[in-house]
Structure 1
Protein backbone atom coordinates (compact mmCIF):
# COMPACT_ATOMS: atom_id res chain seq x y z
CA UNK A 1 0.00 0.00 0.00
CA UNK A 2 1.42 3.38 -0.98
CA UNK A 3 0.23 6.99 -1.39
CA UNK A 4 1.78 9.11 -4.18
CA UNK A 5 1.23 12.86 -4.60
CA UNK A 6 0.86 13.97 -8.20
CA UNK A 7 0.19 17.70 -7.76
CA UNK A 8 1.62 18.75 -4.41
CA UNK A 9 3.29 22.22 -4.34
CA UNK A 10 4.70 21.50 -0.87
CA UNK A 11 7.17 18.78 0.26
CA UNK A 12 5.82 15.20 -0.19
CA UNK A 13 3.91 13.64 2.71
CA UNK A 14 5.65 11.35 5.16
CA UNK A 15 4.67 7.75 6.07
CA UNK A 16 3.05 7.03 2.72
CA UNK A 17 3.13 3.24 3.16
CA UNK A 18 0.13 3.14 5.49
CA UNK A 19 -3.65 2.88 5.14
CA UNK A 20 -3.97 6.37 6.63
CA UNK A 21 -2.25 9.37 5.06
CA UNK A 22 -1.48 12.28 7.39
CA UNK A 23 -0.97 15.71 5.78
CA UNK A 24 0.32 18.94 7.31
CA UNK A 25 1.55 22.42 6.31
CA UNK A 26 -0.56 22.43 3.17
CA UNK A 27 -0.54 25.61 1.12
CA UNK A 28 -3.42 27.07 -0.84
CA UNK A 29 -4.04 25.05 -4.01
CA UNK A 30 -5.30 21.77 -5.46
CA UNK A 31 -3.76 18.41 -4.53
CA UNK A 32 -4.18 14.92 -6.05
CA UNK A 33 -3.13 11.84 -4.12
CA UNK A 34 -2.96 8.34 -5.68
CA UNK A 35 -3.44 5.29 -3.53
CA UNK A 36 -1.78 2.13 -4.83
CA UNK A 37 -2.40 -1.22 -3.14
CA UNK A 38 -0.54 -4.50 -3.81
CA UNK A 39 -1.55 -8.01 -2.78
CA UNK A 40 0.68 -10.97 -1.91
CA UNK A 41 0.87 -12.03 -5.56
CA UNK A 42 2.18 -8.63 -6.63
CA UNK A 43 -1.04 -7.51 -8.22
CA UNK A 44 -1.74 -3.77 -7.93
CA UNK A 45 -4.68 -1.39 -8.15
CA UNK A 46 -4.81 2.43 -8.11
CA UNK A 47 -7.36 5.09 -7.15
CA UNK A 48 -7.03 8.83 -6.63
CA UNK A 49 -8.39 11.51 -4.27
CA UNK A 50 -8.41 15.28 -4.67
CA UNK A 51 -7.83 17.80 -1.87
CA UNK A 52 -8.63 21.49 -2.29
CA UNK A 53 -7.02 23.96 0.14
CA UNK A 54 -8.50 27.49 0.23
CA UNK A 55 -7.95 30.59 2.32
CA UNK A 56 -10.46 30.90 5.18
CA UNK A 57 -13.43 33.13 4.46
CA UNK A 58 -13.35 35.80 7.20
CA UNK A 59 -16.51 37.87 7.41
CA UNK A 60 -16.04 41.42 8.66
CA UNK A 61 -17.67 42.14 12.03
CA UNK A 62 -21.03 43.85 11.61
CA UNK A 63 -21.59 46.71 14.05
CA UNK A 64 -24.86 46.95 15.95
CA UNK A 65 -25.06 49.91 18.35
CA UNK A 66 -28.49 48.87 19.66
CA UNK A 67 -31.88 50.54 19.54
CA UNK A 68 -32.31 54.33 19.80
CA UNK A 69 -33.30 55.35 23.32
CA UNK A 70 -34.82 58.10 25.46
CA UNK A 71 -34.11 59.11 29.03
CA UNK A 72 -35.75 61.69 31.29
CA UNK A 73 -33.91 64.16 33.50
CA UNK A 74 -32.61 64.04 36.22
CA UNK A 75 -31.15 60.80 34.76
CA UNK A 76 -28.01 61.84 32.86
CA UNK A 77 -26.35 58.47 32.08
CA UNK A 78 -27.04 55.78 29.44
CA UNK A 79 -25.45 52.43 28.58
CA UNK A 80 -24.13 52.17 25.02
CA UNK A 81 -24.23 48.44 24.22
CA UNK A 82 -22.72 47.01 21.05
CA UNK A 83 -22.77 43.36 22.15
CA UNK A 84 -25.45 42.66 19.55
CA UNK A 85 -22.79 43.07 16.83
CA UNK A 86 -22.15 39.90 14.78
CA UNK A 87 -19.07 38.02 13.52
CA UNK A 88 -17.00 39.37 16.40
CA UNK A 89 -14.16 37.62 18.21
CA UNK A 90 -11.58 38.24 20.90
CA UNK A 91 -9.52 40.13 18.31
CA UNK A 92 -12.35 42.52 17.37
CA UNK A 93 -11.61 46.23 17.89
CA UNK A 94 -14.34 48.55 19.19
CA UNK A 95 -14.57 52.35 19.13
CA UNK A 96 -17.45 54.51 20.41
CA UNK A 97 -17.42 58.18 19.36
CA UNK A 98 -19.88 61.02 19.90
CA UNK A 99 -21.03 62.56 16.62
CA UNK A 100 -23.34 65.30 17.92
CA UNK A 101 -25.12 66.60 21.01
CA UNK A 102 -25.77 69.70 23.12
CA UNK A 103 -22.59 69.03 25.14
CA UNK A 104 -19.66 66.59 25.21
CA UNK A 105 -20.63 63.42 27.08
CA UNK A 106 -18.11 61.38 29.07
CA UNK A 107 -17.52 57.90 27.61
CA UNK A 108 -16.10 55.65 30.34
CA UNK A 109 -14.62 52.91 28.09
CA UNK A 110 -14.86 54.00 24.44
CA UNK A 111 -12.74 51.03 23.22
CA UNK A 112 -14.98 48.29 24.60
CA UNK A 113 -18.12 46.62 23.28
CA UNK A 114 -20.24 48.45 25.86
CA UNK A 115 -19.69 51.62 27.86
CA UNK A 116 -21.56 54.29 29.80
CA UNK A 117 -22.13 57.81 28.48
CA UNK A 118 -22.62 60.25 31.35
CA UNK A 119 -23.03 63.99 31.87
CA UNK A 120 -25.87 64.24 29.35
CA UNK A 121 -28.19 67.23 29.25
CA UNK A 122 -31.46 68.02 27.52
CA UNK A 123 -31.33 67.48 23.77
CA UNK A 124 -30.44 64.99 21.03
CA UNK A 125 -27.20 62.96 20.92
CA UNK A 126 -25.72 60.65 18.29
CA UNK A 127 -23.09 58.03 19.08
CA UNK A 128 -21.23 55.97 16.45
CA UNK A 129 -19.97 52.41 17.03
CA UNK A 130 -17.20 51.21 14.70
CA UNK A 131 -15.88 47.62 14.77
CA UNK A 132 -13.21 45.79 12.79
CA UNK A 133 -11.15 42.62 12.91
CA UNK A 134 -7.52 42.86 13.97
CA UNK A 135 -6.58 40.84 10.88
CA UNK A 136 -8.13 43.34 8.46
CA UNK A 137 -8.61 46.91 9.65
CA UNK A 138 -9.98 47.80 6.21
CA UNK A 139 -13.14 45.77 6.80
CA UNK A 140 -14.69 48.02 9.44
CA UNK A 141 -18.41 48.63 9.80
CA UNK A 142 -20.28 51.28 11.78
CA UNK A 143 -23.71 51.82 13.28
CA UNK A 144 -25.32 55.00 14.62
CA UNK A 145 -27.27 55.28 17.89
CA UNK A 146 -29.55 58.21 18.81
CA UNK A 147 -30.18 59.19 22.44
CA UNK A 148 -32.89 61.71 23.35
CA UNK A 149 -32.77 63.40 26.76
CA UNK A 150 -36.13 64.88 27.78
CA UNK A 151 -37.17 67.19 30.60
CA UNK A 152 -40.71 66.56 31.83
CA UNK A 153 -40.79 69.08 34.70
CA UNK A 154 -38.75 72.27 34.94
CA UNK A 155 -37.00 72.86 38.26
CA UNK A 156 -36.26 76.45 39.30
CA UNK A 157 -32.50 77.14 39.31
CA UNK A 158 -30.77 77.68 42.62
CA UNK A 159 -28.61 80.81 42.99
CA UNK A 160 -25.57 80.50 45.25
CA UNK A 161 -23.59 83.71 45.74
CA UNK A 162 -20.88 81.87 47.68
CA UNK A 163 -21.56 82.91 51.27
CA UNK A 164 -20.50 85.95 53.32
CA UNK A 165 -16.78 86.67 53.79
CA UNK A 166 -14.33 89.44 54.62
CA UNK A 167 -11.14 90.88 53.12
CA UNK A 168 -8.49 93.20 54.52
CA UNK A 169 -7.08 96.21 52.73
CA UNK A 170 -5.12 96.63 50.60
CA UNK A 171 -6.66 94.35 47.93
CA UNK A 172 -6.28 94.72 44.19
CA UNK A 173 -9.69 93.16 43.53
CA UNK A 174 -12.47 91.34 45.37
CA UNK A 175 -13.56 87.99 43.89
CA UNK A 176 -17.13 86.77 44.55
CA UNK A 177 -17.74 83.23 43.31
CA UNK A 178 -21.28 82.26 42.30
CA UNK A 179 -20.25 79.32 40.12
CA UNK A 180 -21.88 76.81 42.49
CA UNK A 181 -25.31 78.00 41.37
CA UNK A 182 -27.15 75.08 39.78
CA UNK A 183 -30.08 73.97 37.61
CA UNK A 184 -31.55 70.63 36.53
CA UNK A 185 -30.39 71.43 32.97
CA UNK A 186 -28.16 74.50 32.94
CA UNK A 187 -27.94 78.09 34.16
CA UNK A 188 -28.12 80.26 31.05
CA UNK A 189 -27.89 83.79 32.49
CA UNK A 190 -26.13 85.46 35.42
CA UNK A 191 -26.61 88.95 36.90
CA UNK A 192 -24.85 90.57 39.89
CA UNK A 193 -26.51 93.73 41.27
CA UNK A 194 -25.36 95.95 44.10
CA UNK A 195 -27.86 95.99 46.97
CA UNK A 196 -29.30 99.29 48.21
CA UNK A 197 -27.63 98.70 51.60
CA UNK A 198 -24.18 98.32 50.01
CA UNK A 199 -21.35 100.86 49.80
CA UNK A 200 -21.29 102.49 46.39
CA UNK A 201 -17.51 102.76 46.06
CA UNK A 202 -15.66 100.51 43.65
CA UNK A 203 -16.42 99.30 40.13
CA UNK A 204 -16.94 96.02 38.30
CA UNK A 205 -14.09 94.64 36.15
CA UNK A 206 -14.55 93.39 32.55
CA UNK A 207 -18.34 93.03 32.66
CA UNK A 208 -18.05 90.26 35.25
CA UNK A 209 -21.45 91.24 36.70
CA UNK A 210 -22.90 89.05 33.89
CA UNK A 211 -20.73 86.01 34.64
CA UNK A 212 -20.58 83.35 37.37
CA UNK A 213 -17.65 85.09 39.11
CA UNK A 214 -17.89 88.78 40.01
CA UNK A 215 -14.71 90.88 40.12
CA UNK A 216 -14.73 94.42 41.48
CA UNK A 217 -11.98 96.80 42.53
CA UNK A 218 -11.46 100.25 44.05
CA UNK A 219 -13.02 99.19 47.34
CA UNK A 220 -12.87 101.06 50.65
CA UNK A 221 -13.44 99.87 54.20
CA UNK A 222 -17.04 99.01 54.92
CA UNK A 223 -19.79 96.54 53.93
CA UNK A 224 -20.66 95.56 50.39
CA UNK A 225 -23.78 93.56 49.55
CA UNK A 226 -24.32 91.97 46.13
CA UNK A 227 -27.37 90.11 44.86
CA UNK A 228 -26.86 87.28 42.34
CA UNK A 229 -29.79 86.27 40.12
CA UNK A 230 -29.63 83.25 37.79
CA UNK A 231 -32.03 82.04 35.06
CA UNK A 232 -32.57 78.78 33.18
CA UNK A 233 -33.51 78.37 29.51
CA UNK A 234 -37.24 78.52 30.36
CA UNK A 235 -37.00 81.86 32.17
CA UNK A 236 -37.25 80.55 35.75
CA UNK A 237 -34.97 82.38 38.18
CA UNK A 238 -33.83 82.69 41.78
CA UNK A 239 -31.60 85.07 43.73
CA UNK A 240 -29.12 84.98 46.59
CA UNK A 241 -27.16 87.73 48.35
CA UNK A 242 -23.64 87.87 49.72
CA UNK A 243 -22.12 90.30 52.22
CA UNK A 244 -18.45 91.28 51.99
CA UNK A 245 -16.81 93.15 54.87
CA UNK A 246 -13.75 95.17 53.82
CA UNK A 247 -11.49 95.83 56.80
CA UNK A 248 -8.83 98.46 57.28
CA UNK A 249 -5.34 97.04 57.11
CA UNK A 250 -2.68 97.38 59.81
CA UNK A 251 -0.13 99.85 58.62
CA UNK A 252 3.36 99.80 60.10
CA UNK A 253 5.32 102.96 59.66
CA UNK A 254 8.99 102.32 58.99
CA UNK A 255 11.45 104.83 60.59
Structure 2
Protein backbone atom coordinates (compact mmCIF):
# COMPACT_ATOMS: atom_id res chain seq x y z
CA UNK A 1 0.00 0.00 0.00
CA UNK A 2 1.07 3.59 -0.57
CA UNK A 3 0.51 6.66 1.55
CA UNK A 4 -1.67 8.67 1.99
CA UNK A 5 -3.69 5.42 2.32
CA UNK A 6 -2.84 4.37 5.89
CA UNK A 7 -5.22 1.56 6.78
CA UNK A 8 -5.69 -2.02 5.67
CA UNK A 9 -8.15 -4.86 6.31
CA UNK A 10 -6.62 -8.29 6.94
CA UNK A 11 -8.97 -11.24 6.51
CA UNK A 12 -8.01 -14.32 8.51
CA UNK A 13 -9.48 -17.81 8.76
CA UNK A 14 -9.08 -21.00 10.74
CA UNK A 15 -10.12 -24.64 10.46
CA UNK A 16 -10.40 -27.50 12.94
CA UNK A 17 -10.83 -31.04 11.63
CA UNK A 18 -12.42 -32.30 14.84
CA UNK A 19 -14.17 -29.21 16.13
CA UNK A 20 -14.98 -25.57 15.52
CA UNK A 21 -13.13 -22.26 15.81
CA UNK A 22 -14.19 -20.45 18.93
CA UNK A 23 -12.19 -17.22 18.78
CA UNK A 24 -9.65 -15.15 16.87
CA UNK A 25 -6.83 -13.01 18.26
CA UNK A 26 -4.84 -10.52 16.20
CA UNK A 27 -1.74 -8.73 17.47
CA UNK A 28 1.01 -6.49 16.14
CA UNK A 29 4.44 -8.11 16.20
CA UNK A 30 6.57 -5.27 14.85
CA UNK A 31 6.49 -2.06 12.85
CA UNK A 32 7.75 1.53 12.70
CA UNK A 33 4.95 2.62 15.01
CA UNK A 34 1.95 1.31 16.92
CA UNK A 35 -1.01 0.68 14.65
CA UNK A 36 -4.60 1.18 15.76
CA UNK A 37 -6.28 -2.25 15.67
CA UNK A 38 -10.01 -2.69 15.22
CA UNK A 39 -11.70 -6.10 15.18
CA UNK A 40 -8.70 -7.78 16.78
CA UNK A 41 -10.95 -10.54 18.15
CA UNK A 42 -12.64 -11.23 14.83
CA UNK A 43 -11.48 -12.87 11.62
CA UNK A 44 -11.18 -9.45 9.92
CA UNK A 45 -8.65 -7.03 11.40
CA UNK A 46 -8.56 -3.34 10.46
CA UNK A 47 -5.12 -1.82 11.07
CA UNK A 48 -5.01 1.97 10.75
CA UNK A 49 -2.76 4.97 11.48
CA UNK A 50 0.02 3.21 9.61
CA UNK A 51 3.26 5.04 8.84
CA UNK A 52 5.89 4.39 6.18
CA UNK A 53 7.65 1.07 6.73
CA UNK A 54 6.90 -2.63 7.26
CA UNK A 55 4.47 -4.05 9.84
CA UNK A 56 4.09 -7.66 10.94
CA UNK A 57 0.75 -8.82 12.34
CA UNK A 58 -0.03 -12.25 13.82
CA UNK A 59 -3.27 -14.22 14.05
CA UNK A 60 -3.99 -17.10 16.42
CA UNK A 61 -7.23 -19.04 16.60
CA UNK A 62 -8.72 -21.05 19.46
CA UNK A 63 -11.03 -24.01 18.93
CA UNK A 64 -13.93 -25.22 21.02
CA UNK A 65 -11.56 -27.40 23.06
CA UNK A 66 -9.38 -24.33 23.91
CA UNK A 67 -6.54 -25.51 21.69
CA UNK A 68 -4.55 -22.49 20.42
CA UNK A 69 -2.98 -22.46 16.97
CA UNK A 70 0.56 -21.49 16.12
CA UNK A 71 0.58 -17.75 15.24
CA UNK A 72 0.28 -17.10 11.53
CA UNK A 73 2.08 -13.90 10.50
CA UNK A 74 1.45 -11.45 7.67
CA UNK A 75 3.62 -8.51 6.57
CA UNK A 76 2.16 -5.20 5.44
CA UNK A 77 4.49 -2.78 3.64
CA UNK A 78 3.55 0.90 3.59
CA UNK A 79 5.28 2.84 0.80
CA UNK A 80 5.98 6.59 1.01
CA UNK A 81 3.64 9.01 -0.70
CA UNK A 82 4.66 9.96 -4.26
CA UNK A 83 6.67 13.18 -4.40
CA UNK A 84 4.54 16.25 -5.18
CA UNK A 85 6.04 18.34 -7.99
CA UNK A 86 5.04 21.62 -9.59
CA UNK A 87 5.85 23.40 -12.85
CA UNK A 88 7.15 26.95 -13.20
CA UNK A 89 6.47 28.85 -16.43
CA UNK A 90 8.40 32.07 -17.05
CA UNK A 91 7.79 34.62 -19.80
CA UNK A 92 9.60 37.77 -20.93
CA UNK A 93 7.33 40.58 -22.12
CA UNK A 94 8.04 41.70 -24.77
CA UNK A 95 10.07 38.74 -25.97
CA UNK A 96 12.76 41.02 -27.36
CA UNK A 97 13.00 42.92 -24.08
CA UNK A 98 15.13 40.46 -22.17
CA UNK A 99 15.41 36.99 -20.68
CA UNK A 100 14.42 35.20 -17.47
CA UNK A 101 16.99 32.83 -15.98
CA UNK A 102 16.27 30.33 -13.21
CA UNK A 103 18.35 28.47 -10.66
CA UNK A 104 18.08 25.56 -10.35
CA UNK A 105 17.01 25.10 -13.96
CA UNK A 106 14.47 22.26 -14.15
CA UNK A 107 11.17 21.36 -15.81
CA UNK A 108 9.47 20.65 -12.46
CA UNK A 109 10.21 21.19 -8.77
CA UNK A 110 9.46 19.32 -5.56
CA UNK A 111 7.01 21.00 -3.22
CA UNK A 112 8.83 23.54 -1.07
CA UNK A 113 11.72 24.04 -3.49
CA UNK A 114 13.03 27.61 -3.74
CA UNK A 115 13.78 28.82 -7.27
CA UNK A 116 15.73 32.01 -7.98
CA UNK A 117 14.56 33.98 -11.03
CA UNK A 118 16.77 36.64 -12.63
CA UNK A 119 15.42 39.10 -15.19
CA UNK A 120 18.12 40.35 -17.58
CA UNK A 121 17.10 43.20 -19.91
CA UNK A 122 18.30 43.33 -23.50
CA UNK A 123 20.17 46.37 -24.79
CA UNK A 124 17.85 49.37 -24.82
CA UNK A 125 15.45 47.92 -22.23
CA UNK A 126 15.06 48.06 -18.45
CA UNK A 127 13.38 45.53 -16.15
CA UNK A 128 10.17 47.06 -14.77
CA UNK A 129 8.57 44.31 -12.66
CA UNK A 130 7.04 40.85 -12.14
CA UNK A 131 3.43 39.83 -12.74
CA UNK A 132 1.31 36.67 -12.64
CA UNK A 133 2.20 34.58 -9.59
CA UNK A 134 4.72 37.19 -8.41
CA UNK A 135 4.72 40.96 -7.94
CA UNK A 136 7.21 43.72 -7.26
CA UNK A 137 10.60 44.54 -8.72
CA UNK A 138 12.96 42.45 -6.57
CA UNK A 139 15.59 40.99 -8.89
CA UNK A 140 16.70 38.23 -8.48
CA UNK A 141 13.38 36.91 -7.14
CA UNK A 142 13.02 33.88 -4.82
CA UNK A 143 9.98 31.72 -5.59
CA UNK A 144 8.81 28.95 -3.23
CA UNK A 145 7.08 26.18 -5.17
CA UNK A 146 3.77 25.40 -3.49
CA UNK A 147 1.68 25.10 -6.69
CA UNK A 148 2.09 25.31 -10.45
CA UNK A 149 3.17 28.90 -11.14
CA UNK A 150 3.41 31.25 -14.11
CA UNK A 151 5.50 34.41 -13.78
CA UNK A 152 6.11 37.18 -16.32
CA UNK A 153 9.05 39.59 -16.33
CA UNK A 154 8.08 42.89 -17.95
CA UNK A 155 10.71 44.98 -19.71
CA UNK A 156 10.31 48.59 -20.84
CA UNK A 157 12.11 50.03 -23.83
CA UNK A 158 14.26 53.04 -23.01
CA UNK A 159 14.21 56.17 -25.16
CA UNK A 160 17.17 56.02 -27.55
CA UNK A 161 20.32 57.71 -26.23
CA UNK A 162 21.99 60.02 -28.74
CA UNK A 163 25.29 61.87 -28.69
CA UNK A 164 26.76 64.76 -30.66
CA UNK A 165 30.09 64.75 -32.47
CA UNK A 166 31.87 68.08 -33.00
CA UNK A 167 34.81 68.18 -35.39
CA UNK A 168 37.24 71.04 -35.92
CA UNK A 169 40.06 71.60 -38.40
CA UNK A 170 43.06 73.45 -36.96
CA UNK A 171 43.83 75.77 -38.63
CA UNK A 172 40.55 76.02 -40.49
CA UNK A 173 42.36 76.72 -43.77
CA UNK A 174 44.55 73.67 -43.23
CA UNK A 175 42.00 71.13 -44.36
CA UNK A 176 38.61 69.58 -43.77
CA UNK A 177 37.03 66.69 -41.89
CA UNK A 178 34.35 64.49 -43.42
CA UNK A 179 32.25 61.95 -41.52
CA UNK A 180 30.38 58.78 -42.43
CA UNK A 181 27.54 58.59 -41.65
CA UNK A 182 27.00 62.33 -41.77
CA UNK A 183 24.51 63.32 -39.06
CA UNK A 184 23.96 65.91 -36.33
CA UNK A 185 23.65 63.23 -33.62
CA UNK A 186 24.24 59.51 -33.27
CA UNK A 187 22.65 56.68 -31.33
CA UNK A 188 24.79 55.18 -28.59
CA UNK A 189 27.19 52.62 -30.03
CA UNK A 190 27.19 54.05 -33.55
CA UNK A 191 30.60 53.91 -35.24
CA UNK A 192 31.48 57.08 -37.18
CA UNK A 193 34.36 57.22 -39.64
CA UNK A 194 36.26 60.54 -39.71
CA UNK A 195 38.55 61.42 -42.62
CA UNK A 196 40.96 64.35 -42.40
CA UNK A 197 41.77 65.85 -45.81
CA UNK A 198 44.56 68.46 -45.85
CA UNK A 199 44.33 71.52 -48.09
CA UNK A 200 47.03 72.31 -50.61
CA UNK A 201 50.23 73.18 -48.81
CA UNK A 202 49.25 71.36 -45.62
CA UNK A 203 49.70 67.90 -44.19
CA UNK A 204 47.58 66.11 -41.58
CA UNK A 205 49.58 65.65 -38.37
CA UNK A 206 47.15 64.11 -35.88
CA UNK A 207 43.95 64.04 -33.84
CA UNK A 208 43.34 65.68 -30.47
CA UNK A 209 40.48 66.18 -28.01
CA UNK A 210 38.46 62.96 -27.68
CA UNK A 211 40.82 61.11 -30.04
CA UNK A 212 44.56 60.74 -30.42
CA UNK A 213 47.02 59.39 -32.93
CA UNK A 214 47.35 59.76 -36.66
CA UNK A 215 45.16 56.94 -37.98
CA UNK A 216 43.24 58.34 -40.94
CA UNK A 217 40.39 57.56 -41.49
CA UNK A 218 39.55 57.29 -37.78
CA UNK A 219 36.74 55.10 -36.36
CA UNK A 220 34.90 56.72 -33.45
CA UNK A 221 32.40 54.78 -31.32
CA UNK A 222 29.74 57.10 -29.92
CA UNK A 223 29.42 56.52 -26.18
CA UNK A 224 29.26 60.20 -25.13
CA UNK A 225 29.23 63.66 -26.64
CA UNK A 226 32.62 64.05 -28.32
CA UNK A 227 34.76 66.83 -29.73
CA UNK A 228 37.66 65.96 -32.01
CA UNK A 229 40.19 68.23 -33.69
CA UNK A 230 42.24 67.41 -36.77
CA UNK A 231 45.53 69.32 -36.81
CA UNK A 232 47.12 70.30 -40.10
CA UNK A 233 50.65 71.64 -40.51
CA UNK A 234 51.78 73.89 -43.33
CA UNK A 235 54.39 72.47 -45.64
CA UNK A 236 56.98 74.50 -47.51
CA UNK A 237 54.49 75.52 -50.17
CA UNK A 238 51.90 77.24 -47.95
CA UNK A 239 51.52 79.71 -45.13
CA UNK A 240 49.61 78.95 -41.91
CA UNK A 241 46.89 81.49 -41.07
Greater Cα radius of gyration, structure 1 or 2: 2
Higher strand fraction (1 or 2): 2
State the TM bucket, normalised to the shorter chain.
Answer: 0.3 to 0.5
TM-score calculated relative to the size of structure 2: 0.37
TM norm structure 1: 0.35
